[in-house]
Amino acid sequence: MTLRLPLGILLACLLASAQTFPPQPSTPEGRADVMYYGGKIITMDPERPLAEAVTITGDRIRAVGSTQEVGRTIGPATVQINLEGATVIPGLIDSHVHPIGAALAERDEPIPVLRDFAQLRDWVRARPGDGLVFVPKVYSTRLAERRYPTRQELDAWAPGRLVMLDNGYASVLNSAALAKAGITRETPEPADGKIIRDKQGEPTGLILGARRLVAPLLSSRPATFDDELAGLRKMQQAYNQVGLTSVIDRSLGPDGFAVYQKLWSEGGMTVRTYLTRTVNAERDRAAIEAEIRALGPVTGFGDDMMRVGSLKIFLDGGILIGTAFLRAPYGEHTEVYGFSDPDYRGVLRVERETIQAIARTAYDTGWQMTAHTTGGASTDALLDAYEAVDRVSSIKDRRFTLTHANFPSPETIARAKKLGVVMDLQPAWHHFDGPALAKVLGPERMKSFHPYKSLFDAGVVVAGGSDHMIKFDSIDAINPYNPFFGMWMVISRKTATGEVFNPDQRISREQALQMWTRNAAYLSFEEAVKGSIEPGKLADLVILDRDILTCPEDEIREIQAVQTILGGKVVYRR
């Protein structure tokens, strides 16, 4: 039987264990518990970027500096560990993950990486049983054919079966699945998406958006609370293996909060987590505002292991599937998306007045706000709402956020800087999807696709994240959550096909590391306790197998964690 703590007890426990910011250094009377020395410690502290030793007392960093300086804090009982020249960095922070869903995707079996139609066909044909064959997270931009299969192709792959390829924003159904969902040539065009049809008006099988149309196919075996709890525990351990000590979970409802609550109450968390609360913004404005006001604990509530984070809504679809809301139409080269409509620019799913009302309510109730915006026009609409709030009450210190925001133009960057808005970006999209997007959007629009150097030069705080959604493997996952792979991408700007778009937007190794440390800590209001190796901060460290600042550039993606240390305790040892 699973125990769930009542909300009142949870709040009392969190209040009792909450830390006061900023933390105070350890008392001088105590001696350090552990000393690491003889290494290259990249502190990410601008005042002292490099050191050779660090001591830890309890869960806090005691001293940082030379071996001689730090040695003054040790005693007879101090455990002394010789790093033998190894590199140490602060515990890494991923600003955008979905660990519960990622774990559940492989609760029955590992999901292979499917890169072309032949691999898709073979996997579909190998599915046992006679129920729905559901293939998650299939993006046409990542298939060799650069398109989705048709209903007829799916019919041939699995005669007599229901087949559905899905990525959350677009689905491809075979004939049997279309019939099951009741989608025919007479089905009217949905307001929140597109039914792609052939020249005769028959559905091709591709449905963009319009999730209610495919809902009859999504009633597969539900995950239990214990499934989710076990998955979260296992995924946190996987995150530790690549040096992650903190993450921001970017999409949770009440059930997800309860799973974290249970793991926290058991003392089983090995990754500090900032929890994002999602709200459905595609409904009556008054109902949305009432829900937000009734949510209870807001941004910042919690302790060093689990803290309430942002309020999040969804404004558009995805750039990988042609439903992001762009500033101009997609144009004529949209074969990869499966539609032909030179005037189509995506859909803004929420009315502008509603976005502004939500931003105002979030501000009034104490929430940090963010929204899923993948197209430039949806990002502009969100900034319009932020500016409307700012005209009445300054949001500069509230760290309102742009999530994804794939196309920050110079004007967008200037607006974000002026408002104190921070950015949660995912370099994997540039790496994996840049080649396909370049053919759709052309070189001029691609200039604003993930311009990291421009963001740094303007002084906008940009955090590194993965949008990890599927699989345990840190590299083969959709999307890869290995932080060193992400850092390599923003340093090299190399795509999956070897192309380099806008090489002038490369950033330095130190800046890349900053995205997964200090900047990510700033995004969650936790820069006083983590993100750098400084006295008084949490003792979250990673020992690496090579020096990230000096190793050959292409080796950065291969860096491995030798040890991951959370609050002074080793949570992973290779």
**What is the 3-state secondary structure of 450-468?**
CCHHHHHHHCCCEEECCCE
Q: Which DSSP symbol is given to 470?
A: B
Beta partners for 441?
Answer: none
For 518-552, the pLDDT digits (tens) are 999 999 999 999 999 999 999 999 999 999 999 99
Alpha carbons 9 and 274: distance in angstroms, whole number: 20
Residues whose CB falls within 8 Å of the CB of residue 147, separated by 6 or more in sequence, listed in order: 140, 335, 336, 338
SS3 65: strand
Please report, in angstroms and rounded to a whole number, the separation of the first and last CA atoms in the chain.
35
Spatial contact of 536 and 23, defined as CB atoms under 8 Å apart: yes
Any idea how long the chain is?
574
Q: Output phi, psi for 527, to 5 deg.
A: -65, -15
Alpha carbons 393 and 208: distance in angstroms, whole number: 38
Q: For each of the domains in the chain, give its residue range(s) and CATH number, in order of start.
A: 112-217 (3.10.310.70), 277-528 (3.20.20.140)
Handedness of CA 442, 444, 449, 450 (dihedral sign): positive
Specify the DSSP element, H or E, that contains 156: helix 151-157
Task: Give the residue from 314, 324, 250, 318 showing the smallest Cα distance to 279.
Answer: 314
Alpha carbons 89 and 40: distance in angstroms, whole number: 9
For 58-80, the pLDDT digits (tens) are 999 999 999 999 999 999 999 99
Alpha carbons 55 and 31: distance in angstroms, whole number: 9
pLDDT digit string (tens) for the chain, length 574 residues: 333 334 443 444 443 344 333 333 443 457 999 999 999 999 999 999 999 999 999 999 999 999 999 999 999 999 999 999 999 999 999 999 999 999 999 988 888 889 999 999 999 999 998 889 999 889 999 999 999 999 999 999 999 899 999 988 899 999 999 999 999 999 999 988 889 999 999 999 999 988 889 988 876 667 899 999 999 999 999 999 999 999 999 999 999 999 999 999 999 999 999 999 999 999 999 999 999 999 999 999 999 999 999 999 999 999 998 999 999 999 999 999 998 999 999 989 999 999 999 999 999 999 999 999 999 999 999 999 999 999 999 999 999 999 999 999 999 999 999 999 999 999 999 999 999 999 999 999 999 999 999 999 999 999 999 999 999 999 999 999 999 999 999 999 999 999 999 999 999 999 999 999 999 999 999 999 999 999 999 999 999 999 999 999 999 999 999 999 999 999 999 9
Spatial contact of 487 and 493, defined as CB atoms under 8 Å apart: no
